[in-house]
């Protein structure tokens, strides 16, 4: 059965409430949830609705959030490089828009992973699960990032735009996978926004490249 993550969260919250009520007659210690386990007594009425078992259906959502977080982090880092290196107002504006859009999305991705009981995401490109620099993710290598820091003016703009286009295309590909395979409505909605927004930014960057 395909269960939405929001349903999983609701079930978990209900189980916690039952456990707390049951513990009111004790000394308080019985209300603790050792290892976040849900007592069999609280789930006897719905043995088939075990969140841990049903969460297997949400693997695509977890992968999307875990991989998009460091992908966004690198885009924000690239956007920060524009300050002091580019004199093109269109490039500066675009970089600001990228940072303004993807920063809050990173916060939302991290929040979802916490709700789903997953480890906190890492901003390191090395921690992208199953995605390497040649896999179509668009992630920049450390050499690519270093090369940007050594450039300025038109030379910087050309290199930055070229790399950011590849980076955006990688994000769009990951978002399209989430749209196709994801089960969480909010995550799929974010993925649709990423596809729309970043495809539009790709078109703007291609115009700037001429």
Over the Cα atoms of the chain, what is R_g?
Answer: 21
Each domain of the chain, given as residue ranges in start order, spans 5-49, 56-209
Burial of residue 51, with CB atoms counted within 10 A of its CB: 0-12 exposed, 13-18 middle, 19 or more buried: buried
Instruction: Give CA–CA dist 149/83, Å, rounded.
Output: 11
Three-state DSSP at 46 gives coil
Three-state DSSP class for residue 174:
helix
Region 56-209: CATH code:
1.20.1260.10
Per-residue pLDDT of the chain (210 residues; tens, 9 = 90+): 343 443 333 333 333 333 333 344 444 433 333 333 333 333 333 333 443 334 444 699 999 999 999 999 999 999 999 999 999 999 999 999 999 999 999 999 999 999 999 999 988 766 554 443 334 689 999 999 999 999 999 999 999 999 999 999 999 999 999 999 999 999 999 999 999 999 999 999 999 998
Task: Write down the pTM of the prediction.
Answer: 0.70
DSSP character string of 68-114: HHHHHHHHHHHHHHTTTT---HHHHHHHHHHHHHHHHHHHHHHHHHH
Three-state secondary-structure class, residue 123? coil
């Amino acid at each position: 059965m395909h269960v939405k993550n929001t349903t999983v969260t609701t079930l978990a919250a209900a189980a916690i409430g039952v456990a707390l009520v049951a513990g009111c007659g004790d000394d308080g210690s019985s209300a603790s949830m050792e290892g976040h386990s849900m007592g069999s007594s609280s789930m006897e009425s719905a043995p088939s609705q075990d969140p841990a078992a049903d969460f297997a259906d949400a693997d695509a959502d977890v992968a999307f959030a875990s991989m998009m977080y460091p992908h966004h982090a690198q885009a924000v880092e690239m956007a920060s490089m524009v300050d002091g290196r580019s004199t093109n107002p269109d490039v500066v504006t675009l970089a600001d828009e990228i940072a303004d859009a993807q920063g809050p999305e990173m916060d939302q991705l991290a929040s979802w992973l916490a709700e789903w009981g997953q480890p906190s995401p890492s901003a390191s490109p090395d921690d992208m699960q199953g995605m390497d620099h040649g896999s179509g993710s668009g992630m920049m290598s450390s050499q690519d990032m270093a090369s940007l820091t050594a450039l300025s003016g038109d030379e910087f703009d050309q290199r930055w735009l070229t790399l950011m286009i590849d980076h955006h295309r990688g994000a769009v590909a990951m978002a399209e996978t989430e749209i196709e395979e994801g089960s969480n409505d909010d995550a799929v909605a974010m993925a649709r926004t990423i596809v729309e927004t970043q495809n539009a930014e790709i078109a703007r960057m291609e115009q700037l490249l001429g």
